Structure 1
Amino acid sequence: MTRRTRPTAAAALAAAACALLALTATGPAQAAPSGRDVLPPRDGWASAAGGTTGGARADAAHTYTVTTWDGLRAALADDPGAPRIVKVEGTLNATADGCASFAADGYDFARYLADYDPAVWGRDRPVSGAQEDLRAVSQRSQAAAITAYVPSDTTLIGVGAHAGITGGSLQIENADNVVLRNVTVESPLDCFPQWDPTDGATGAWNSEYDSVVVTGSTHVWLDHNTFTDGAHPDSSLPSYYGEVYQRHDGELDIVRGADLVTASWNVFADHDKTLMIGNSDGAGATDRGKLRVTLHHNLFRDVTERAPRVRFGKVDAYNNHYLVGPESAYAYSLGIGIESRLVAEKNAFTLPAGTGAGRVLKKWKEAPVTAAGNRVNGRPADLIALHNAEFPDEQLTSGAGWTPTLRTRVDDPRAVPGLVGHRAGAGRLR
């Protein structure tokens, strides 16, 4: 971890000369991000009630450049309460020492499989005993190592086109005024998933660790990031007991009273349970009146579900592109949950042949939804009517009951695939 200090006059002159040389040789040079960009006015819910500036007020002593996971955690923890800018260079690996470094003494995955094989254990009770206890200890050890807490008044920004985090989980917890930009976040792999024989008819493997969690926090701007499973897509995972050995959780969760969040120009790719807004039907006391989130100009590429799934919140989803390839597993895009008020307007959906447009929306609980001006495979689509026709037993009600006003630009949905395809994601800040 290094702090940037004010350059001397000679150093400044040399830097200017280098910049001029780069401009002459290759055309306009892309300036390194300062971390002082703030969310523009009226750009989604995070611009309300004072806006979102992150660490724009940080002084030189609280401007850090980090090149390791430990360096990132140290920069985020240093001098609590001070505004900070943390610049990420290269890829920070939170699990460089491998899963074995987290395993408790005596934990043996082969023994775990033998002990809890449904032919031995059955499917009518949760697993318990020595190996399950050791698995839980191992999982807690991993959690302690791979979790980084992002405090209030912080900007975390990647430098260049290849800044990223792999194996780590960023927690924006009970904070206010946070910016995350230009970072590729590869989903952490749970080294110790739990087998639950009572989950569904045949049991399931359940994992921990979301890439980014916004919990109890306000004024959060997530911009030009890429969320991906990277080198470990679900298709690469083995199966045990006839079920996929699931090692991923979510890419982004916005939960437990979080509020005033804007997610813009991000890529969410190659994932199952992608983006959840509100984590429980029973959290009304915490979430009612909050979970106000704007999603615009994001690319959801080959994601299975939850893009997003919404409970309670007023969510504005516009000008996003939902791209589903022919080989992709696909369940739905927009989940309508308890007391949600989702507005989905002028989005573009690219679905493979044979996939009905009625599947774009999924009804979990009774709640009204506004869906207008959307296009599926280039054609205008009344998503609610299409859903109701395809799923007559899951009728949706039109009209979310509110009109979004915090929008800086709204593009024709016919232009959205091209715009988002060329400009969304890490490495594409302008």
Structure 2
Amino acid sequence: MRLRHCAAALGLLGLLCVPAHAEDARGTGRDLGRDTLAPYDGWAAAEGGTTGGAAADEAHVFTVTDRAGLVRALDGGSDTPKIIKIAGTIDANTDDSGRRLDCADYATGGYDLKKYLAAYDPRTWGAAKPAGPQEEARQASAARQAERVVLPVGSHTTIVGLGDDAVLKGASLQIKNADNVIVRNLELRDAYDCFPVWQPNTGGLGDWKAAYDTLWLNNAGHVWIDHVTASDKGRPDEKEPTYYARNHLRHDGLLDITNGSDLVTVSWSRFADHDKAMLIGNSDSAAGDRGRLRVTLHHNEFTSVVQRAPRVRFGQVHLYNNRYVVPEDAHDYRYSIGVSTESRIHAENNAFTTPAHVEAADLVKSWNGTALHASGTLFNGYPVDLTAIYNAYNSGSERDLGTDVGWSPALHGRIDSAAAADRAVARGAGAGRIR
């Protein structure tokens, strides 16, 4: 039986050789690591398409079982074509010997949360940014955690989970200044920030800011995210304490696409149990994003998500056949589709299921937006015109939205009815469900 070459030598920690015919998709026998994005499957299929690490030679096909092996396989975010297969659960908060690390292990310089809270209490510190010994200690402690949990992904890379139980826990996968990347069949869980910073001037009342997106695209191009499950599973922010009258947030985005990223397809993925799920475009002043941030989102599920599903600035975003579920006990839901500066969202045949206290008018929120194309929307089983409802019920603080976003999508597969897509996504979205 021929074995795939997993490393320069066998037995390196975290690298496991597997049979060449090992099945990556349940019952198919095919090698998911060699899959490429189909033609016309969203924006990532444009301008040469997305192949990830499909061209990797056998010396750069790795199966990894722990953080140490994953770090070696990623090779510091190198551009060498590579296929990285994740088997089982990998915890980023571990040392090189595999010992589990917690927040106390990262704390340094005398950092102490009680002392930090006493030092920067707005009633005595005021509205200035934190500065001084405790903030310096917080920054040093945060840097120690970042060394473990931030994992850079380079160009021409495929990361794929093996089987139906591949999990990457506590990590922030960062595709930065890279092109041609595929991430598939993987659960990304709990990118927990031990040392969030207090920002006194955010939102008027101040807020806590966490550092890590579960998956961050930063000036990345040609990226395909498929059959990924991303959540705060195990440590939801809603159970964190309140300090300075604000929730002590430990998580940032589930998937953020920012800083000139372009040509991205996100398909058949599940985003769950989180506050700010997906940001496309990071700033109203980032004029360099014009003409970029072209993103397709199709057949994804957003369940128990408070906001940003997605929120878009500048981007030319095709949003079709997605499923949105707001649970019955959700009392902090804000909105799903955020229409921000110069965004051009073309939404088709999406299905929303909400409890009675969430109205169709709540699904959209605009900040300086001008247009939203929304057709074929299903709200609790009934067809609705999202743009018209937003215009009828918005508070008057924002202008009405037009329906002409200036473009029509050409790169996409079959667009089903919202009802059919709702059923298909419930069955098939998320890690472990590739057929």
In structure 2, the partner of 1:424 is 429
Do the aligned partners of residues 134 and 353 (structure 1) sit closer, same or farther apart at CA in structure 2, a change above 3 Å counting? same
> C-alpha separation between the residues in 2 aligned to 1:196 and 1:155?
36
Deviations 1:391-428 (A, max 9, x none): 15132111111110111121111112210010000000
In structure 2, the partner of 1:85 is 83
CA deviation after TM superposition for structure 1 residue 78, in Å? 6.9
In structure 2, the partner of 1:288 is 290
Conservation of the 8 A alpha-carbon contact between 1:227 and 1:267? yes
SS at match of 1:387: helix
Alignment of 1:239-250 (within 5 A): 239-250=242-253
> C-alpha separation between the residues in 2 aligned to 1:5 and 1:93?
24
> C-alpha separation between the residues in 2 aligned to 1:78 and 1:113?
36
In structure 1, the partner of 2:112 is 108
In structure 2, the partner of 1:260 is 263
Do the aligned partners of residues 61 and 411 (structure 1) sit closer, same or farther apart at CA in structure 2, a change above 3 Å counting? same
In structure 2, the partner of 1:119 is 123
In structure 2, the partner of 1:344 is 347
Deviations 1:181-239 (A, max 9, x none): 00100131110111223323432211110001111111100000000000011222111
Deviations 1:261-303 (A, max 9, x none): 0000000001111100000111112x11000000000000010
> C-alpha separation between the residues in 2 aligned to 1:253 and 1:41?
24
> C-alpha separation between the residues in 2 aligned to 1:118 and 1:279?
27
CA deviation after TM superposition for structure 1 residue 32, in Å? 6.5
Identical counterparts, % of pairs: 48
CA deviation after TM superposition for structure 1 residue 119, in Å? 3.3
In structure 2, the partner of 1:5 is 5
What TM-score, normalized by structure 1, do the two folds share? 0.92
1:360 aligns with 2:360: no
Do the aligned partners of residues 334 and 104 (structure 1) sit closer, same or farther apart at CA in structure 2, a change above 3 Å counting? same
In structure 2, the partner of 1:142 is 145
| The 10-residue stretch of structure 1 (299-308 or 359-368) with the greater mean CA deviation from structure 2 | 359-368
CA deviation after TM superposition for structure 1 residue 71, in Å? 1.3
In structure 2, the partner of 1:11 is none
1:224 aligns with 2:222: no
> C-alpha separation between the residues in 2 aligned to 1:302 and 1:380?
22
Q: CA RMSD in A?
A: 1.9
Conservation of the 8 A alpha-carbon contact between 1:4 and 1:65? no
In structure 1, the partner of 2:322 is 320
> C-alpha separation between the residues in 2 aligned to 1:307 and 1:157?
24
SS at match of 2:391: helix
> C-alpha separation between the residues in 2 aligned to 1:60 and 1:34?
15
What TM-score, normalized by structure 2, do the two folds share? 0.91
Alignment of 1:387-406 (within 5 A): 387-393=390-396, 394=398, 395-406=400-411
Pick from 151, 175, 178 the counterpart of residue 175 of structure 1.
178
In structure 2, the partner of 1:311 is 313
Which blocks of at least 5 consecutive residues in structure 1 are unaligned?
A: 7-13, 20-27
Instruction: Report the AA paired with residue 67 of structure 2.
Output: W
> C-alpha separation between the residues in 2 aligned to 1:105 and 1:241?
24
In structure 2, the partner of 1:52 is 50
In structure 2, the partner of 1:410 is 415
In structure 2, the partner of 1:23 is none
CA deviation after TM superposition for structure 1 residue 142, in Å? 1.3
Do the aligned partners of residues 237 and 78 (structure 1) sit closer, same or farther apart at CA in structure 2, a change above 3 Å counting? closer
| The 10-residue stretch of structure 1 (395-404 or 36-45) with the greater mean CA deviation from structure 2 | 395-404
> C-alpha separation between the residues in 2 aligned to 1:311 and 1:297?
22
In structure 1, the partner of 2:68 is 70
Do the aligned partners of residues 31 and 238 (structure 1) sit closer, same or farther apart at CA in structure 2, a change above 3 Å counting? farther
In structure 1, the partner of 2:34 is 36
| The 10-residue stretch of structure 1 (293-302 or 357-366) with the greater mean CA deviation from structure 2 | 357-366
> C-alpha separation between the residues in 2 aligned to 1:225 and 1:366?
29
CA deviation after TM superposition for structure 1 residue 367, in Å? 2.3
CA deviation after TM superposition for structure 1 residue 75, in Å? 0.3
> C-alpha separation between the residues in 1 aligned to 2:77 and 2:265?
27
Do the aligned partners of residues 323 and 49 (structure 1) sit closer, same or farther apart at CA in structure 2, a change above 3 Å counting? same
Alignment of 1:159-174 (within 5 A): 159-174=162-177
SS at match of 1:403: coil
> C-alpha separation between the residues in 1 aligned to 2:203 and 2:177?
33
Instruction: Report the AA paired with residue 318 of structure 2.
Output: D
Conservation of the 8 A alpha-carbon contact between 1:187 and 1:210? no
Conservation of the 8 A alpha-carbon contact between 1:32 and 1:159? no
Runs of 4+ in 1 over 4 A off after TM superposition: none
> C-alpha separation between the residues in 2 aligned to 1:154 and 1:127?
39
SS at match of 2:369: coil
Aligned residues: 410
In structure 2, the partner of 1:10 is none
Conservation of the 8 A alpha-carbon contact between 1:196 and 1:205? yes
> C-alpha separation between the residues in 1 aligned to 2:200 and 2:217?
30
> C-alpha separation between the residues in 1 aligned to 2:342 and 2:52?
30
SS at match of 1:398: coil
Do the aligned partners of residues 311 and 201 (structure 1) sit closer, same or farther apart at CA in structure 2, a change above 3 Å counting? closer
In structure 1, the partner of 2:12 is none
CA deviation after TM superposition for structure 1 residue 357, in Å? 0.3
